[in-house]
């Protein structure tokens, strides 16, 4: 299946499919800010001195706020939650995501991704708005809400690739999916930058009110702009519709209710993608979870500076995601590399480069600048995988892409749970040698995933994923 895809253009960046990519960027931005909001707010929620410790920058910037808002912020409740309780609250959203990843991916392929994803985004946004009230009602309700919110976000994460299977021409897939996916990294950057400022100036409940409200606005955009396929969109031009349908006609993405599980289990190219996800999420989860701790304990900086420094890697990750997508599609459109060569190139860069940076980290702790530079490069270069194995399921099985993305992210979340637990254990034994072992182990996991993908990864549609298998199983 190495037929050359059509190179005819369909209005480029002014087209409707790029508008869809921007709306998905906004939805991913919204979901990650809602997910991380509690991590920022909980500092004030369990700290009774939060509002008696003013930050000069915050006061200078917001000195003209009304007294009523200031009074409201000082009355924000404080809770006696132990670190063990906080850990349960933090992990509950991840367990919720795992519960719905695979079933929501399957349902999105049958019922339509627009409805499944839109419902997940709306539920997550409403629960974010409800979180401050839930906290007043008790910690059990907070855990329940976070779990249900995770289930809603699991619905919203996986089905996006079902839409791209019908909307993204093969030569633009990396570009479109990277624009959409970069919203998560940009959202992490924004929430880390402004979350503490909002908490200090307005009170921690406003973190949830602001980002929950943004999510509701995003829902309006989602249900207005997003359609499952270009054939039914009322605003698409005839030229763009013809361009998309002719480009993706070779790769059927029609839904089917039966899934060839046995063929999938025996498919090594699919396992190569799963191993790539496992390796990628192993290191990324460590960076997301432990970056503030590493900066604070190793570089010995204060909390405010640690928050700012912790946000920098995510703007680098967002930029690298978009740039990687542009470069991948450039290589394909100019026939400089084959599709599988592009996938393996960006997978190699996204797994090898952060491994090198991680191995180097323990040896540059005496240099503040070198340490920060490496910490910025790890998530930045890791996101080059978005143009590699991350979207490889669109190449090998477009008809089952939402179901397979659910499984892939399940492998990733499993890796994240294992890596977080392992990291906590290692650094509790001895901080210096513990961090060194954490980074060496992460590099080893990355290398395993990379070698496995380089050996078994493919870009051709698999036999079990072709249209002619409709009558089987």
Q: What is the pLDDT of residues 61-83, one digit of tens each?
A: 334 444 444 444 445 667 888 76
Q: What is the pTM of this model?
A: 0.76
Tally: H helices and E strands in the chain: 18, 0
DSSP helix/strand/coil, 473 = coil
Give the side-chain half-sphere CA count within 13 A for 162.
30
**Spatial distance between the Cα atoms of 255 and 264, rounded to a whole number of angstroms:** 16
Confidence of residue 403 (pLDDT cuts 50, 70, 90): confident
DSSP helix/strand/coil, 404 = helix
DSSP helix/strand/coil, 412 = helix
Q: Which residues 6+ apart lie within 8 Å of 182 measured at CB?
A: 25, 28, 317, 318, 319, 321, 322, 383
Q: What local confidence, expressed as pLDDT, does residue 11 receive? A: 53
**Spatial distance between the Cα atoms of 364 and 372, rounded to a whole number of angstroms:** 10
Over residues 44-56, the pLDDT tens digits come to 888 644 443 434 4
Tokens of 344: 């393996």
Q: What is the mean pLDDT of residues 93-111?
A: 79
Over residues 103-134, the pLDDT tens digits come to 877 777 677 788 888 999 999 999 999 999 99
**Spatial distance between the Cα atoms of 330 and 336, rounded to a whole number of angstroms:** 8
**Spatial distance between the Cα atoms of 103 and 89, rounded to a whole number of angstroms:** 24
Tokens of 166: 């019908």
Task: Give the dihedral sign, CA 50/54/59/63.
Answer: positive
């Amino acid at each position: 299946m190495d037929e050359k895809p059509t190179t005819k253009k369909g209005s480029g960046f002014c087209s409707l499919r790029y508008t869809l990519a921007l709306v998905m960027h906004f939805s991913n931005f919204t979901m990650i800010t809602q997910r991380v909001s509690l991590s920022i707010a909980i500092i004030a929620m369990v700290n009774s001195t939060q509002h008696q410790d003013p930050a000069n920058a915050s006061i200078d910037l917001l000195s003209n706020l009304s007294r009523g808002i200031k009074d409201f912020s000082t009355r924000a409740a404080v809770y006696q939650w132990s670190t063990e309780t906080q850990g349960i609250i933090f992990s509950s959203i991840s367990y919720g995501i795992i519960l719905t990843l695979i079933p929501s991916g399957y349902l999105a392929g049958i019922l339509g991704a627009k409805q499944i994803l839109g419902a997940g985004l709306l539920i997550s946004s409403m629960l974010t708005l409800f979180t401050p009230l839930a906290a007043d009602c008790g910690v059990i309700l907070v855990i329940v809400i976070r779990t249900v919110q995770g289930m809603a976000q699991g619905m919203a994460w996986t089905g996006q690739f079902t839409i791209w299977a019908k909307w993204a021409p093969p030569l633009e897939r990396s570009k479109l999916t990277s624009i959409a996916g970069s919203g998560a990294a940009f959202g992490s950057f924004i929430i880390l930058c402004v979350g503490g400022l909002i908490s200090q100036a307005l009170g921690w409940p406003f973190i949830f009110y602001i980002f929950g409200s943004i999510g509701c606005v995003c829902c309006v955009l989602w249900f207005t702009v997003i359609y499952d396929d270009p054939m039914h969109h009322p605003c698409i031009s005839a030229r763009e519709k013809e361009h998309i349908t002719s480009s993706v006609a070779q790769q059927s993405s029609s839904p089917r209710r039966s899934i060839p599980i046995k063929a999938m289990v025996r498919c090594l190219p699919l396992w190569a993608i799963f191993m790539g996800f496992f390796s990628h999420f192993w290191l990324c989860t460590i960076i997301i979870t432990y970056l503030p701790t590493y900066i604070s304990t190793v570089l010995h900086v204060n909390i405010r500076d640690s928050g700012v420094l912790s946000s920098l890697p995510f703007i680098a990750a967002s930029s690298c995601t978009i740039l990687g997508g542009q470069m991948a599609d450039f290589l394909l459109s100019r026939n400089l590399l084959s599709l599988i060569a592009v996938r393996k190139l960006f997978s190699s860069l996204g797994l090898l480069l952060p491994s090198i940076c991680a191995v180097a980290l323990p040896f540059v702790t005496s240099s503040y600048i070198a340490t920060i530079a490496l910490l910025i490069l790890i998530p930045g270069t890791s996101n080059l995988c978005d143009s590699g194995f991350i979207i490889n399921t669109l190449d090998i099985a477009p008809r089952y892409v939402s179901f397979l993305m659910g499984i892939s992210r399940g492998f990733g979340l499993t890796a994240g749970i294992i890596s977080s637990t392992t990291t906590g254990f290692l650094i509790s034994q001895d901080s210096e040698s513990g961090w060194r072992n954490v980074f060496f182990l992460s590099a080893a996991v990355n290398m395993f995933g990379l070698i496995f993908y380089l050996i078994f990864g493919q870009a051709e549609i698999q036999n079990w994923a072709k249209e002619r298998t409709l009558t089987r199983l």
